[in-house]
């Protein structure tokens, strides 16, 4: 843009509208990214971690060959 040209009010308004709409899109994108991160954190905490804990507990139970039979405990307690 030449420094010697005169800009009328219509051009100034159009330029400011372009700047405002382009910066508003950036704010929307940042908001969506933030919501995505929060949603991912909540999903990990309340869905993924409990599933992992259950799998680890099941794996440790089968690895140690520990099987809980409540009837045998009652019988052994009654015998003593």
Backbone angles phi, psi at 67, to 5 degrees: -125, 125
Q: How far is CA 16 from CA 13, 19, 23, 53, 77, in A?
A: 5, 5, 11, 54, 85
Q: What is the pLDDT of residue 69?
A: 61
pLDDT digits 0-9 by tens, 15-53 = 777 776 666 677 788 888 999 999 999 999 999 999 999
Q: Tell me, what's the pLDDT at 46?
A: 93
How confident is the model over 54-77, as a mean pLDDT?
70
CA distance 17 to 10: 11
What is the Cβ-side half-sphere exposure of residue 37, based on CA atoms within 13 angstroms? 6
Whether 11 shows a pLDDT value over 60: the answer reads yes
Q: Is the pTM of this model over 0.75?
A: no
Closest CA to 53 of 68, 38, 40, 61: 61
């Amino acid at each position: 843009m030449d420094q010697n040209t005169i800009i009328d009010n219509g051009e100034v308004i159009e330029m400011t509208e372009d700047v405002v709409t382009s910066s508003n899109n950036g704010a929307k994108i940042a908001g969506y990214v933030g919501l995505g991160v929060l949603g991912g954190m909540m999903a990990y905490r309340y869905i993924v971690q409990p599933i992992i804990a259950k799998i680890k507990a099941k794996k440790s139970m089968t690895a140690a060959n520990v099987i809980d039979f409540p009837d045998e405990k009652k019988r052994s307690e009654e015998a003593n």
